[in-house]
Each structure stands twice: as C-alpha cells, then as structure tokens.
Chain A
Amino acid sequence: MRQRVKVLLLILVPFVVLFFSLSLGSTGYVGISDLAHYTWVAVQGLFGNELARATTDIETILWQVRLPRILLTFMVGAALAVSGGVLQAIFRNPIVDPFSLGISSGAAFGAALSMLIPLIPINLSAFLFGVVAVTITYFVSYAGARTSMIIMVLAGMIITGVFTAFLTVLQYLSDPYKLQAIVQWTMGNLHTASWDKVQTVFIPIIGGLLAIAAFRWKLNLLALGDQEAMAVGVNPRNIKFIIVGLATMITASAVASVGMISLFGLIVPHISRIFFGPNNQIGVFANMSIGGTFLLLIDDFSRAVMPFEIPVGVFTMILGAPLFIYLMRKNAVNWNA
C-alpha cells in the first residue's frame, strides 16, 4: 500500500468503527439508516432545535449509554497505545509498556484503597498513586546524566511488585463485597462509562496526546540514545522528563477511569510499526488511531458477541496475545534486538 492510502485509512477507519460501534449493544442492533436519522436529529438538537431533543428510549441509549462509552474507549485505547509507543522509543526498548514503570499497580492500589477507605474519589486516588509509583521509580533509578534505562525498568518492576503486594494486603483485609469491586476494577471495566467519566479524562488525555504529538519528531532523536542526542547539540534530559511526564499523565488518567487493561500499550505500538515503520512522526498518530480503533473493536466484541459482558482487560489479553505471538513468529515485528 502506498503511504498516502495508509494515512487516509488511519483517518477514516476510526470514524467508520466509531459509527459502527454506535449501532451495537445489548439492547439490540440499530440499522444504519435509523442511526443516520437519530444522528441528524441529535445534531439538530445540538444546534438549539428544541423539537429535536432526544426523546425515545433508543435515543437515550445511543447518546447517554453508547456514545460516552465509545468515546471513553477510544480515548483510553489511544492513550495507552501512544504512551506505550512513546516509552518504547524513549527507553529504546520494545518490551516496555506504560505499566512497566509501576503506573498500573500504583493506580490499582490507589483504587482499592479508596474503595476500602472512601476518603477521596476512586479515580483521583488511582491517579495519585499511579503518579506516586512512577515518581518512586524515577527517583530510585535517577543518577543524573548517567541514568540507566535498564535500571529504570528494573526499578519499575520492583515498584510494581511492592504495590501489588500492598494490593494483596488490602484484598485480604477487605470484606467480600468490596473485594469483588476491587477485583472487577483491576480487570478493567468499560461498562461503567458515563459522560462524567468522559469529561474527567477528556482534558488530561486529549491535552496529553496533543502535547506528545507536538514532540513527535524529537522522539526519533531520543530513540537513538542520549549520547547521540548530545552529539548533535541537544540535551535530552529536559525533553525526556517532559515526554515521560505526559505519558504518565495520560496512562494514569486512563487507568484511573477504566481500570487496568494489560498488554494493550505493549502490543499496539508494535502493530503500528509493522504498518508505518519506526518513524515516530507518523507513529504517534498511528498509535492514536490504531489504539483507539482496536480497543473499540475489542469492546464491540465483548458487547455484541458475548451474551454477558466480560471485562475488557481480560479480552485484550485473550485476543491480543495470540495476535502478538503470530506477528512475532512471523518476524514482522519491527525492531532490531
């Protein structure tokens, strides 16, 4: 495929899938023409036509249940994928993902803590502890200009272990009902989506994605290594700090709103490298588009195909792992080990 066609697909496919996803759901399938009609009515409503307010049940389901869920899913998918791609580039390590630095386990612990002792909202607590975990990881491994990427990843693994242990203690201490809520949250839940959640994550995720997109060319430089950046007169430290901070922000926001979706941030960057090569100038956008679309499709599958809803974190694992292993065995995964 020519590059231009690929880029066009990158832009078009998400919209098609977004529209398609609206028609799916446990209350039943909505035909394309009906959907088009409802959309037209809703758009008129947005522009102040009082007569065109959503009135029917199906319209309430479309705009109050399905649309926020679809938007949230897309944003979370894009955030995890972009974050994974960014971290893989900066750490020059194709097996790093947003969770290797301790973000997820910190956030899971934070969520569990707030379910057990409800002092602050679950989302906020998850976000705060995600940031705390990452900060500890950075401080443990920080050594000025000599900060080693390998030590940072190892530190992330250790911090992940520590927070997972804390989480286990909380689970052990909590009563069965709370335990159930904690376990559900850690498995990743998109069915709790609402306009409130969309509103909460919109600014950090969209803002973070745009900021990362602005730095996309510099990612190529960082992916060559610190020495190679200094060799051409760029001090990599500040820009790395900014970009890792942005990646942490979007990951923690995603995890805080829908729980843990494992493997996703690891796999999607590999898929987009297969189609678009390692150049981060296009890779950042590819990750947004493929990440959002892919998570949406997985969620569609769990909404429409299965008779009951299975947490999306389970699905990304079950669907993602074989796909990834297949690509890996085919040696199509674009990196040089």
Chain B
Amino acid sequence: MKKLIQIHNLSFSFGKQQVLAELTADFYGEELTVILGRNGSGKSTLFNILSGMERYYKGEVLFADQSRKDIHAGQKNTLRIGFMTQFHQTTFPFTVFDVVLTGRAAFSRFAPRQVDFDLVEENLRAFQLWHLKDKPYTALSGGERQLVLLCRILVQQPDVLLLDEPTNHLDLHYQVAVMEHLKRLVQSGTTIVCVMHDPNLALLYGDRFYVMQNKKLHALQEKDPVVLLSTLEKTYHVALTDVQHNGRTLIIPKQKHL
C-alpha cells in the first residue's frame, strides 16, 4: 500500500497552549486508519488540519505528495477530500433529500443534474433512509442526522474520507451499519481516516491504528495483545483485560467493584 497522507513535524498551538508538537505519521491509501485518544488530546485539532479548516500550522501535511495548503476545495483533477465534523445545527428545516443533494454542489455551477439526483437516491437507499427523504432534517433523531450527513459526504464520491467520530450518537444497529459501509468503501478504493472513541469498534473494523498522546501520534501495535493492552492502559488511564476474538484483540475495563 502507498503512503497517501504524510504528516511531518506538525506543530500547532492555540495561543500559548501547544496542542500538537512535532507530530509525524503516515496514513496509507485504501485503508481504514483509526485515531484513538482521550478527550482534549488534540484529535479534533489534527482532524481540522487534515480537513483544511485549520491552516495556521507548522510542519508539513502532504496528501498524495501535495501540500494540504495547495489543495483547494472545488479544484478539479486533485484528490477529492470529504470530511464530516461532529456537531451540526441547521437553522432552516431543509428536507433530508435537499440536505444530501447539497453534497453534489461541487459538481455543477448552477442547478443539480440527473446524475446528482440518482446518486442521492442510491446513497439514501444504501443506508435505508429513503423513506425519510421528504422529512425535515431538523425533525430527525441525532443518529439519523448523523447518517444523513454521512450520506451527504458520500454523494461526492470522495477519494479520501475524514470522519470525526462517525458512530457518535448512533445505536448499535447503526454503528455496525456505518462501520460495515466504511469497510466496503475501503474495499472499493477509498482512503478513510477516522477519529473514534470506542476502541473495540475501532479494533473490529480498522486496518491501522494510532493513539494520540502527549501531543503526538503513536502507532498502536494491535497484533501483540500485551503491547496493545499496556499502550491503551497508558492512554486512557484505566486498567484493562484483553479478550480474543477471531484473531483480533478486544479490550474490556477491569472492574474494581464486583
């Protein structure tokens, strides 16, 4: 596999508070890379830099050997990067269909075309959301909204997909549905980098893992249960036990009071 995203000596501060310090990491193409870490460890900052929303950083961020700062949204013949942030509130109650349709905005100057409508339908059906198409987006549950936003990102058929906690707000059914879908996307050639909170869901579906700690990303050796356990224990400050499942190591916290 090819290194698609290369981060070299990336530093970032909010005022005097340093959030990322000389972070170096590579993400590979056509893989599902997962970034784990505690709240406030800088995952979202890294996410903002990768997605292009934050531009005032030191160091190098390359997407397919091109600096992130040189990849402009809406430009043709470059990598198509889609991202999904955590929180989203709309003011106006657009229908689900209209919200997803805006995902195709980069592809036509003015009005949407038939291919745009078709892609919206295809994606909504893939997530079994077609029956909601005429409902106001604002009337959906948090989980449904999350899925609609994911559909919206997917209709642009991105080469790289950056997701900030895509399974947040979702019940178990949808968590599995989303992860399975991401897995299929990876198999069909999409590169996905995903910030996640649930280590087990990550370990079940991810291809490569990083842990954000001390303002840096550390590769997680998931193959060795002992190393995996100790790294995650240090990251989350919780005592853990491992569970073996289909050749993968999952973790559960050690309970103090039984």
**Residue ranges of B at the interface with A (Cβ–Cβ < 8 Å):** 51-53, 55, 72-74, 80-85, 88-95, 98-99, 101-106, 110-112, 138, 152-153, 155-156, 158
Query: Contact: B85 with A231, CB < 8 Å?
Result: yes
* Complex CA–CA separation, A63 to B110 (angstroms): 38
Among A199-217, those with CB < 8 Å from B are 214-217
Once the chains are docked, how many angstroms separate the CA of A225 from the CA of B138?
15
Question: Chain A: which residue is nearest B84 at the CB level?
Answer: A231
Residues on A with C-beta less than 8 A from B73 are 229-230, 233-235
The residue on A at minimum CB distance from B87 is A227
Instruction: Judge whether A93 and B102 touch: CB under 8 Å.
Output: no
Give the residue among B51, B55, B110, B158 with the most A Cβ atoms within 10 A. B110
The A276-335 residues at the B interface (CB cut-off 8 A) are 277-279, 281, 334-335
Cβ-defined contact, B105 with A221, below 8 A:
yes
Which residues in chain A, 225-263, are within 8 Å of chain B measured between CB atoms? 225, 227-235
Q: Quick check: A335 and B92 within 8 Å, CB to CB?
A: yes
Assembled-state Cα–Cα distance A232/B102 (Å) = 8
Q: In the assembled complex, how far is the CB of residue A295 from the closest CB belonging to chain B, in whole angstroms?
A: 24
Q: A230-B51, A230-B53, A232-B153 are in contact. Are A217 and B93 (CB under 8 A)?
A: no
Q: Are A217 and B105 CB-contacts (below 8 A) given A225-B88, A232-B156, A235-B72? A: yes
A224, B95: Cα distance in complex, Å: 12
Extra pairs beyond A232-B103, A334-B93, A335-B91 (15, CB < 8 Å): A145-B55, A217-B112, A224-B102, A227-B85, A227-B88, A228-B102, A230-B83, A232-B102, A232-B105, A232-B153, A232-B155, A233-B105, A234-B106, A336-B91, A336-B93
State A214–B102 Cα separation when bound (angstroms).
15
- Report the separation of the CA atoms of residues A105 and B51 in the bound assembly, to the nearest whole angstrom: 40
Number of A-B contacts (CB under 8 A): 103
Contacts of B155 in A (CB 8 A): 232
> How far is it, in angstroms, between the C-alpha of A231 and the C-alpha of B88 when the chains are bound?
12
Query: How close is B83's CB to chain A, nearest CB, in angstroms?
Result: 5
A321→B74 CA distance, assembly (Å): 43
**Contact present for A215 and B90 (CB under 8 Å):** no
A336 engages B90 (CB within 8 Å): yes
- Determine if A152 is an interface residue (Cβ-Cβ < 8 Å): no
CA distance A216 to B98 in the complex (A): 13
User: Are the C-beta atoms of B52 and A224 separated by less than 8 Å?
Assistant: no
Q: How far is the CA of A279 from the CA of B24 in the complex (A)?
A: 44
Q: Kindly identify which residue among A225, A230, A279 contacts B94, using a CB–CB cutoff of 8 Å.
A: A279
Please state if B94 and A233 are interface contacts (CB–CB under 8 Å): no
In Å, the complex CA distance between A94 and B99 comes to 18
Of chain A, the residue at the smallest CB distance from B162 is A231
> A residues within 8 A CB of B102?
220-221, 224, 228, 232
Determine the distance from Cα of A278 to Cα of B135 in the docked complex, in whole angstroms: 12
Binding site for B on A (CB under 8 A): 89, 92-94, 145, 214-218, 220-221, 223-225, 227-235, 273, 277-279, 281, 334-337
User: A223, B92: Cβ atoms under 8 Å?
Assistant: yes
Q: Assess the B82–A231 pair: CB atoms within 8 A.
A: yes
Q: Which of A89, A229, A230, A232 has the most CB of B within 10 A?
A: A232
Chain A residue nearest to B139 (CB atoms) is: A336
Out of B74, B90, B110, B111, name the residue touching A234 (CB < 8 Å).
Answer: B74
Distance of A93 Cα from B90 Cα, bound (Å): 10
A205 to B137 Cα, complex, angstroms? 33
Distance in angstroms from A161 CB to nearest chain B CB is 26
Docked pose: A93 CA to B81 CA in angstroms:
28
Q: Which of A92, A145, A228, A235 contacts B74 (CB 8 A)?
A: A235
List residues of chain B with CB within 8 A of the CB of A273. 92
| Given contacts A231-B84, A232-B156, A334 and B92 within 8 Å (CB-CB) | yes
Q: With A223-B90, A334-B92 in contact, is A232–B85 under 8 Å at CB?
A: no
Q: Please tell me if the beta carbons of A227 and B106 are within 8 angstroms of each other in the complex.
A: no
Cα separation A93 to B89 with both chains bound (whole Å)? 12
Ranked nearest first, the 3 interchain pairs of A and B with the lowest CB-CB distance are: A278-B92, A233-B106, A221-B102
Shortest Cβ distance from A223 into chain B, in angstroms?
6
Residues in A with CB closer than 8 Å to B52 are 230
| 16 contacts across the A-B interface (CB closer than 8 A) | A92-B92, A216-B111, A217-B111, A218-B105, A220-B94, A223-B92, A224-B88, A225-B90, A228-B88, A232-B153, A233-B74, A233-B82, A234-B73, A278-B93, A278-B94, A336-B138
Question: What separation, in Å, do the CA atoms of A173 and B91 have in the docked complex?
Answer: 45
- A277/B53 in contact, CB under 8 A: no
* Chain B residues with CB below 8 A from A93, complex form: 91
A223 in contact with B84 (CB, 8 Å): no
Instruction: Identify the closest chain A residue to B48 (Cβ).
Output: A227
Q: How far, in whole Å, are A227 and B112 apart by their CA atoms in the complex?
A: 21
- Cα A229 to Cα B88 in complex, Å, equals 12
Q: How far is the CA of A218 from the CA of B104 in the complex (A)?
A: 10
In the assembled complex, the Cα of A292 lies from the Cα of B163 at a distance in Å of: 45
- With a CB–CB cut-off of 8 A, which chain B residues contact A224? 88, 90, 94, 99, 102
A218 to B98, alpha carbons, bound, how many Å? Answer: 11
* Distance, CA A140 to CA B244, complexed state (A): 60
What's the minimum C-beta distance from B15 to chain A, rounded to whole angstroms? 15
Which residues from B are CB-within-8-Å of A216? 111
- The residue in A217, A231, A273 that gathers the most chain B C-beta atoms within 10 A of its C-beta is A231
